[in-house]
Amino acid sequence: MRTKLLTLTSTVSILMVSFSVAQTKSIWKPAIGNSWTYQVSVTVQEGTELPKDVPGQKLEKFDGKTRATYTQKMVYRGLQPVGEAEGDKKAPTGHAFTVSNGDKLDETQFMSISDTAVEAIGVQPAGKELKPLSQAIPLVRSDWKGGEAFPFMMEYKAQGQKVRMVRKFKVIGWETLETKAGKFKALHVQVSGMNGQMELKRSYWFTPGTGFIKEVKKYYVGDRTILTQTRVLEKIGD
């Protein structure tokens, strides 16, 4: 049976991280129009079908696997509503980031950003309704230094059924990464859990004041790797 992957981003998968940042006043202060360009590589086992409508995507077949590579761009759009107004209360807002594969909009991610934390709060797939999360998912915190580990649980409804999502976070610590965009000191965080019958293992690296530098995401069924997705920062700005 062939499996079709309908989307390559979680993202928001939307899980981010926290970090220790004594040397800066704020975790992240993007300005409207700021952009980040990533090189994305997705490798799947034979029998798994990748989307073919990603602009500029390159497909390769080797050793019973298929690899897709393409460019992804993330642009900050400012504060936007993430829900409806209730009574005399204004509609809640979140920091919106559009994510495009090639020049095709894939989704808009919504985050809560303060001086000490970044949290995922919603996602809107292109052409579909906004889906606010039932609770914020911690992505970045200024008190993370490395060595912290904790579980995160969230309940939500999918196709009328209540679903419980459980993730395990582990803060690995600070590492130096070098990409086409430059050299960065970034906090490495790991996240693991189950998506249905598949096990998810995810690592990502965040640099204060800059944003997300790299992400590696893998899905397993038993001891078999079904999908590996890598996203690496290539350029900051246009």
Measured CA angle at 126 (ends 194, 77), to 5 deg: 100
Cα–Cα distance, 98 to 119 (Å, whole number): 16
* Cα(113)–Cα(110) distance, integer angstroms: 10
Q: Which residues contact 98 (CB under 8 A, 6 or more apart)?
A: 74, 75, 77, 105, 107, 108
Domains with residue ranges and CATH for the chain? 3-83+92-236 (2.40.360)
- 228/234 Cα distance (integer angstroms): 19
Q: With CA atoms as reference, report the closest residue to 23 among 238, 164, 207.
A: 207
pLDDT for 25: 65
Q: In this predicted structure, what is the pLDDT of residue 181? A: 98
Q: pTM to 2 decimals?
A: 0.86
DSSP assignment string, 155-180: EEEETTEEEEEEEEEEEEEEEEEEET
The pLDDT value recorded for residue 6 is 38
**Mean pLDDT in order along the chain per 10 residues (238 residues):** 42 38 69 98 88 91 93 98 83 96 96 94 95 91 94 84 90 97 97 90 96 97 92 96
pLDDT of res. 199: 95
Amino acid at 204: Y
